[in-house]
Amino acid sequence: MKLVFATNNLNKLKEVQALLPDHIQLLGLSEIGCTEDIPETSDTIEGNAIQKAEYVKKHYGYDCFADDTGLEVKILNGDPGVYSARYAGETKDAQANMDKLLENLKDKNNREAQFKTVISLKIGEKLDTFTGICSGTITSEKKGKQGFGYDPIFLPDGYEKTFAELALSEKNLISHRARAIKKLIEFLSS
């Protein structure tokens, strides 16, 4: 089976390729000639995932899946949420995003958070969605060099290391994206 993963994020592509079985051939956006920024104008994580999958299917004709991920911090009413990538501005600077979040949590005791990934799968005219959640807390300082985004400040429940301190193989066992991908794979295999 050939599927497009609607992302230009090479880190995400690498993570997902490591999770998929061999019978699913994964193509990135660059491989289908999609160089434009796909609109993400929904006010929900689910809405953005659906919007991206439908865009690829409509404009390029490929069966496709897309994801959208947000970091939701309980005491900040779910922020940064759908705006996680642009939390500190349109430049999508991961360091600035982490710095802003740490500043906003500076005097807060409750640092509960969750990563939420929604995958939207568009095959033919059929649309399905799959959600993965990883609960944890936001640390007070950045730790680790692995991963991307908020990984250096996210401590998953039950672990003493941030996502950025875990090997990719460890992260792929528990991450929000891995959980959503697992549901996608189960669906594609049934």
Single-letter code of the amino acid located at 16: V
The structural domains of the chain, ordered by start, are 2-189 (3.90.950.10)
Single-letter code of the amino acid located at 162: T
8 Å CB contact between 146 and 111: no
Residue 59 has φ and ψ, to the nearest 5°, of -90, -20
**126-138/25-27 β-pairing:** unpaired
Peptide bond into 39 cis (omega under 30): no
Give me the tens of pLDDT residue by residue for the chain, a chain 190 residues long. Answer: 889 999 887 777 777 777 777 888 888 999 999 999 898 899 999 999 999 999 999 999 999 999 999 999 999 999 999 999 999 998 889 999 999 999 999 999 999 999 999 999 999 999 999 999 999 999 999 999 988 899 999 999 999 999 999 998 899 899 998 899 999 988 987 7
Catalytic residues: 68
pTM exceeds cut of 0.85:
yes
113 by DSSP, 3-state: which?
A: strand
Consecutive H or E run containing 138: strand 126-138
Q: At what angle do helices 176-189 and 10-19 cross, to 10 degrees?
A: 50
Quick one: tokens of 91? 């430049």
The string over 122-152, giving b where at least 16 C-beta atoms fall within 10 Å of a residue's C-beta and e elsewhere, is bbeeeeebbebebebbbbeebbbebbebbbb
